[in-house]
Structure 1
Amino acid sequence: MIELLQQYWPNYLYSDGFNYSGLVITLWLLVISIVLGFGLAVPLAVARASRNPWISRPVWLYTYVFRGTPLYVQLLLCYTGIYSLNYVHTHALLGEFFRSAMNCTLLAFTLNECAYATEIFAGSIRETPAGEIEAGLAYGMSKFKLYTRIILPSALRRALPAYSNEVILMLHATTLAFTATVPDILKVARDANSATYMTFEAYGIAAILYATIVFALIWAFRRMETRMLAYLKPQGH
């Protein structure tokens, strides 16, 4: 393992300004897909929780498709399927975008993450206590203010435990990026294994890196839950 670390540790951990390490690529995929997915999921969750079927049904269809099909298939469709369409590969901007493995991977991950986050947030919005809504209406809040000041802040806080699990699952899902030739941690591990035939060591290092990231995420989310959900704990007398 020492020999493998000496030869390949820069590929796992170190970025030289031109080539990014597997760790950096993995974190980049995770952060971008989570940030974009979250930003898209919040308004879609409001639409999904709407009682108007013309608003909620299209969002339901989107989440149904992306939650009902494997992420690997979605990645292949984005990476090879869309670019094979004549209109796409002959269009300057679309062709340039879908020629990039990183762009296609981020697109698939973001859409998949958004679908799961939308359902998590929508369920939390539906479970908003009626008393909180009535209090906002009693203050004369408009529907927009009701959502931005009461419903969404309360719902996002209560959705935090479920959403933290989804973020960790998204980290696990980034291991599919190597199939699109994106040089993430798993791709580096496969290259190291192919060059050295030190299978246990190559994948063992990858497992340690993934576990470290997961433990850091768990710690961060637990701190957030302790701070943001403190009002839900029983108060002592």
Structure 2
Amino acid sequence: MNFSWVSNYWPLLAAGATQTVMLLVISVALGFVLAIGLALAQIGGPHWLRWCAKSYCTCLRGTPLLIQLWLLYYGVGSLLPMIPGLRSSFVWPIVREGFFFAAVSFTLNYAAYEAEVLRGALLAVPKGELEAGRAFGMTHWTLLRRIWLPRAIRIALPTIAGEVVLQLKATPLAFTVTVMDLYAVAYKIRQDTLLVYEPLIVVTIFYVCLTIVITRAFRIVERQVPARR
């Protein structure tokens, strides 16, 4: 095993690790917010909204993430330059990059999976807790904010932790749309040094360590938040 190349490539490795973490944080944070709306729409929205939310979740959960990413990057991405004035706007440097399409694709995909998790968790909240909130005169939104949604998130925490780890393992797909994430850096190192296993071992260690951090963080949160109010 030869790891002498690490001293020369560590700035590139650090930059790739940063890109990976940024993709994970952006997609999980924005996707979770979107998932809450999708879950609530499936449970208490009007018929047309429930149908739209269920169709969205079914379609995105039923197709590979790689295909969704390529449809956005090669499909929508090829149409963006045709929008009048977009090239001269301040958003063009952002939307022309593969990172933007990867972040959007990962966010939409994560939201679809997380919405189903939250939908089940919302339905699992004991009815007696909701009835007690209504008995205290809480409005629908107060009940949702103070009892229903917090309890559902607490119920779903172990599953959410697993979904975040799965999202982390999906980030190497960004390499296919020119994003220089950690896997892309490892691929470049392999091309430069003709070393196959060593760069992949470094990537594996990074993902394992980050998975441990995520898992322990969620366990700490589970211990801090009581199971029952």
1:34 aligns to 2:28 (yes or no):
yes
- The alpha-carbon deviation at position 230 of structure 1 amounts to 4.4
Residue deviations 1:135-175 (CA, integer Å, cap 9, x gap): 01111111111111111111111111111100000000001
Q: Which residue of 1 aligns with 2:53?
A: 59
Q: Which residue of 1 aligns with 2:142?
A: 145
Does the 8 Å contact 2:154/2:227 carry over to 1? Answer: no
Q: Which residue of 2 aligns with 1:227?
A: 224
Residue deviations 1:28-77 (CA, integer Å, cap 9, x gap): 00001111111111122111122642221110011111100000001001
Q: Which residue of 1 aligns with 2:3?
A: 2
* Aligned CA distance change for structure 1 residues 145 and 230 (closer, same or farther; 3 Å): closer
* Aligned CA distance change for structure 1 residues 51 and 103 (closer, same or farther; 3 Å): closer
1:69 aligns to 2:74 (yes or no):
no
The counterpart of 1:105, out of the listed 102, 107, 110, is 102
Does the 8 Å contact 1:49/1:123 carry over to 2? Answer: no
Residue deviations 1:164-198 (CA, integer Å, cap 9, x gap): 10000000000101111101010000000111111
Does the 8 Å contact 1:120/1:162 carry over to 2? Answer: yes
The counterpart of 1:89, out of the listed 81, 94, 108, is 81
Q: Which structure 2 residue ranges, 5 or more long, are not aligned?
A: none
- The alpha-carbon deviation at position 102 of structure 1 amounts to 0.9
> Aligned with 1:186: secondary structure?
helix
Taking the aligned partners of 1:148 and 1:45, their CA distance within structure 2 comes to 14
Cα root mean square deviation, aligned: 1.7
Taking the aligned partners of 1:186 and 1:197, their CA distance within structure 2 comes to 15
- The alpha-carbon deviation at position 98 of structure 1 amounts to 4.2
**Equivalences, count:** 223
> Aligned with 2:78: secondary structure?
coil
Letter in 2 for 1:69: T
Letter in 2 for 1:54: W
> Aligned with 1:159: secondary structure?
helix
TM-score by length of 1: 0.89
Q: Which moved more, 1:156-165 or 1:43-52?
A: 43-52
Q: Which residue of 1 aligns with 2:186?
A: 189
Taking the aligned partners of 2:156 and 2:227, their CA distance within structure 1 comes to 14
1:212 aligns to 2:226 (yes or no):
no
1:170 aligns to 2:167 (yes or no):
yes
Q: Which residue of 1 aligns with 2:19?
A: 25
Letter in 1 for 2:161: S
Q: Which residue of 1 aligns with 2:111?
A: 114
> Aligned with 2:138: secondary structure?
coil
> Aligned with 2:44: secondary structure?
coil
* Aligned CA distance change for structure 1 residues 189 and 230 (closer, same or farther; 3 Å): same
Q: Which residue of 2 aligns with 1:17?
A: none
Taking the aligned partners of 2:138 and 2:149, their CA distance within structure 1 comes to 14
Does the 8 Å contact 1:82/1:98 carry over to 2? Answer: no
Q: Which structure 1 residue ranges, 5 or more long, are not aligned?
A: 14-20, 233-237
Does the 8 Å contact 1:78/1:98 carry over to 2? Answer: no
Taking the aligned partners of 1:72 and 1:226, their CA distance within structure 2 comes to 36
Letter in 1 for 2:146: R
